[in-house]
Amino acid sequence: MLIGQDRNQLDDSELVSLASGGDTRAFETLLERHRGRVLRICLRMLGNRIEAEEAAQDSFVKVYYHLRDYDQSRSFAVWSASIALNECRDKLRKRSRLVRIFRGIEEADRAQAQTETNDTDDSQEKLSAVEKAIAQLPDQLREVITLKAYGEHSYEEIAKILNVRVGTVMSRLFRARQKLTDIMNRGI
């Protein structure tokens, strides 16, 4: 058995090997290492903190149960981001039937919260405007910009996650940025 501090010095594939052999501390180290990135992806894809935390947790449950299927030639960060993105897609599909109802409630809550807190500064308003603009993007563009901006993935990693070419990633990012600019200029 390894001492807890030694696990932090192991790379992801070594931790996966230990975790798939039943070492729960190795899996905890993987979880700690990748939790933030997966949560940021889920949060930006779903736009709801509670739902994002649930999706991130569900993603890591799937990661845990599929550790034996992990292809060590792939980056663990890319593999776990792919699982998280698929989990978010599933949640968005399930949610799509009720989106109209929940949006109305959410917008009313936001409007009420904004009237209650008149001391919001410009940076919070700009961030909120950007988040609303991102939410208006088509799924393919929202996914790629979320993975780049919030998941902090490279073009190559995004291409692997989405199973597309790097050129497609670059094209989608360009279109997403253009569309975001248009939405922002219109004032959402």
Rounded to whole angstroms, how far apart are CA atoms 101 and 14?
A: 46
152 CB contacts (<8 Å, ≥6 apart)? 37, 40
CATH 1.10.10.10 in the chain, residues?
A: 122-188
What's the topology of domain 1-91?
Rna Polymerase Sigma Factor; Chain: A (1.10.1740)
pLDDT score, position 110: 61
Single-letter amino acid, residue 113: A
Rounded to whole angstroms, how far apart are CA atoms 27 and 13?
A: 11
Tokens at residue 91, please?
A: 């949640």
What's the topology of domain 122-188?
Arc Repressor Mutant, subunit A (1.10.10)
Tokens at residue 16, please?
A: 């996966």
Residue 94 has what DSSP assignment?
H
What are the φ and ψ backbone dihedral angles of 87, each rounded to 5 degrees? Answer: -65, -40
pLDDT score, position 119: 46
CATH 1.10.1740.10 in the chain, residues?
A: 1-91
Rounded to whole angstroms, how far apart are CA atoms 188 and 186?
A: 6
Would you give per-residue pLDDT tens digits along the chain (188 residues)? Answer: 555 457 788 999 999 999 999 999 999 999 999 999 999 999 999 988 999 999 999 999 999 999 989 998 889 999 999 999 999 998 888 776 554 544 555 555 565 555 545 545 566 777 777 788 888 889 899 889 888 887 788 899 999 999 999 999 999 999 988 898 888 888 75
**What are the Cα distances from residue 164, in Å, to 81, 144, 160?**
15, 11, 7
